[in-house]
Amino acid sequence: MTCVVITGASRGIGRATALLAAERGWSVLVNFRSDEAAAEETASLVRKRGGRPLIWRADVTREDDVRAMFDAAAAEFGPVSAAVVNAGIVAPASTLADMDIARLRRVFDVNVLGSYLCAREAARRIPLSRGGPGGAIVIVSSMAARLGSPFEYVDYAGAKAALDTLTVGLAKELAADGVRVNAVRPGLINTEIHASGGRPDRAQEMGAGSPIGRAGETSEVAEAIIWLLSANASYVTGTIMDIAGGR
Ligand code: NAP
């Protein structure tokens, strides 16, 4: 039985991944930081798909929270065999010249340190040599890592580039230890993250100008994440998959 920890699963891409995981019969830890009602909604949708969710509040930037989250998943479901390192934030659109230190710290804290802490916890528990069941990790990067996000979020773009590098290195560390590590780079996906950047319609507006002519849906990203986690991707590791409509 696959037991998957999904960070930032109260809405957006994390929620869609939780629902698809439940459809596959996997046990799902639904992590959130602040919006418990949204996490409850995810859990209710997971149950409707026959899944057994565990809702867990944890701030991925806090080492103790991350450890307790993986402990909780193992206590509820048995050994964790999969992790989706998904929680991430943007800050309001700005040029680098106008970003203050508090914003830069927060963006790097959540997106880089938070993701590294979650990937580290997975790397301490899933590998065969550590008594784990073996499995897979998927890290949620962004097309921003390749495009740079000028005039909007060069901080976020650089943070996501760090996750691409983490994916390549960690995949090599764990490849012979029963753990595959891959990443997805979503493009413009319809979620609430754009509102937090000050432009709720950003995905629809900019998606219309992408080669495929529209924004992506969370389910389209979730399909790739679940495939990368699944045994169908058994020879795939160290890969970073663009899910961006040709952008
Ligand atoms: P979203 O709808 O804003 O959801 C973000 C999730 O992350 C929420 O569940 C939120 O929970 C959680 N979160 C934020 N900070 C957290 C923290 N410190 N600890 C634990 N959870 C935290 O975002 P999304 O669009 O689904 O994005 C998911 C991932 O995809 C992010 O890494 C994002 O960078 C990436 N991505 C998104 C797009 C896009 O166009 N949407 C494109 C490329 C990459 P609470 O609300 O409870 O805090």
Atom 23, ligand 1: residue with shortest CA distance: 193
Cβ of residue 145 lying under 6 Å from some atom of ligand 1: no
Q: Measured in angstroms, how far is the CA atom of residue 201 from the centroid of ligand 1?
A: 16
**CATH code of the domain in which 169 resides:** 3.40.50.720
C-alpha dist (Å) from residue 38 to 2, 32, 44, 181, 221: 24, 8, 10, 28, 19
Pick from 72, 66, 90, 68: which is nearest to 29 by CA? Answer: 72
* Residue pLDDT tens, the chain, 247 long: 799 999 999 999 999 999 999 999 999 999 999 999 999 999 999 999 999 999 999 999 999 999 999 999 999 999 999 999 999 999 999 999 999 999 999 999 999 999 999 999 999 999 999 999 999 999 999 999 999 999 999 999 999 999 999 999 999 999 999 999 999 999 999 999 999 999 999 999 999 999 999 999 999 999 999 999 999 999 999 999 999 999 9
Spatial separation of the C-alpha atoms in residues 108 and 93, rounded to whole Å = 15
Spatial separation of the C-alpha atoms in residues 122 and 141, rounded to whole Å = 17
Domain around 136: 3-243
Cβ of residue 14 lying under 6 Å from some atom of ligand 1: yes
Atom 34, ligand 1: residue with shortest CA distance: 88
Q: Which atom of ligand 1 is least distant from the CA of 186?
A: 43
Q: Which atom of ligand 1 is least distant from the CA of 115?
A: 32
The secondary structure of residue 200, as a DSSP letter, is T
Cβ of residue 202 lying under 6 Å from some atom of ligand 1: no
What are 203-228's pLDDT values in tens digits? Answer: 999 999 999 999 999 999 999 999 99
The torsion of the CA quartet 116, 118, 124, 125, rounded to 10 degrees, works out to -160
Residues serving a catalytic function are 156
Q: Measured in angstroms, how far is the CA atom of residue 176 from the centroid of ligand 1?
A: 31
Which pair of tokens denotes residue 53? 């969710």
Q: Which atom of ligand 1 is least distant from the CA of 87?
A: 7
Cβ of residue 190 lying under 6 Å from some atom of ligand 1: no
| Dihedral pair phi/psi, residue 60, rounded to 5° | -65, -15
Pick from 54, 98, 60: which is nearest to 77 by CA? Answer: 54
Cβ of residue 138 lying under 6 Å from some atom of ligand 1: no
Q: What domain count does the chain have?
A: 1
The pLDDT of residue 1 is 72
